Structure 1
């Protein structure tokens, strides 16, 4: 078998072939990165059937640009969806907050119930019943009024007259009730008695004073006798 020697290439042809080979390899690497499912040697042909590297490279770059554009578009779409989802969540939370606060508002604006009225218990008035005054006490009081008004007697003189064995003979209780309840001004009684001694018996003031306070006389108190002498000339 005769061996045919390969034709000799010029340096320019060798450099051109090397540059074309590098270009094919670079294009093949880009195509493999963009479309990894396709075999790398699709664009690698024999010297007799060598494809147009620039055409395939341009097509690959267009596909890569479309993929990048689609990816970027998808990314913007995803961002828009996330923003829309966040706005929806904020709207739902706002609606829930309004729904939660609405009962409180309704409760606050509700008219309060009227205050309960309580009827106070009836006031029970108790009337103290005074014991009945005995007949003897009433009679002694009538006699005391007569002695005081007609004879201008002192309180002690009226008492002694009511209880005397030679007088009215009332009990001590009846006589005491009479002198305690008789409506008499004892100072005026002493003055009236003093003027009677002065006008009828022409007695001195000192003698009148002694007669008014004497145990055997009118039996007025010292204060009552002093009042009578002080107003004797009125």
Structure 2
């Protein structure tokens, strides 16, 4: 926004200077952003990481996203189960597994989700 000519119109250098001199803990901001996403939608660790670093998402640095992931108190097995339950009833079991794999859940998270899907 700072460098958008239709908004603030600062140069890239001025915008970078402003961001670099804010008294903000960007690691904590990334963590709070990840927590907010996880309240509304299930993500795998890699999925939330990708969302945090995406230029179309939050555009955090890789180290800020890694910090966020490392400091989340999230049960990734339960995230996989939550995601799997979205498809229960209208999707075959093998397709649910494939969807979870494509969403970057680990094999153990997928196993947990599939074992607990009907509970």
Q: What is the TM-score with the length of structure 1 in the denominator?
A: 0.40
Contact 1:140–1:175 (Cα < 8 Å) also in 2: yes
Q: Structure 2 matches for 1:1-234, cutoff 5 A?
A: 135-199=25-89, 202-214=90-102, 218-234=103-119
- Once the two structures are superposed, what CA deviation does each residue of 1:136-158 show, in whole Å capped at 9, x if it has no partner? 10100001111222101111100
Question: Gapped runs of 5+ residues in structure 1?
Answer: 1-133
Q: Name the CA distance, whole Å, in 1 between partners of 2:39 and 2:97.
A: 21
Contact 1:148–1:154 (Cα < 8 Å) also in 2: no
Q: What is the TM-score with the length of structure 2 in the denominator?
A: 0.77
Secondary structure, aligned partner of 2:117? coil
Between the two structures, name the one with larger relative contact order (CA 8 Å, sep ≥ 6): 2
Question: Gapped runs of 5+ residues in structure 2?
Answer: 1-23
Decide which structure has the larger Cα Rg and report it.
1
- Once the two structures are superposed, what CA deviation does each residue of 1:107-128 show, in whole Å capped at 9, x if it has no partner? xxxxxxxxxxxxxxxxxxxxxx
| Alignment coverage as a number of residue pairs | 96
Q: Name the CA distance, whole Å, in 1 between partners of 2:39 and 2:104.
A: 16
Q: Name the CA distance, whole Å, in 1 between partners of 2:39 and 2:101.
A: 19
Relative to its length, the structure with more helix (as a share) is 1
Partner of 2:3: none
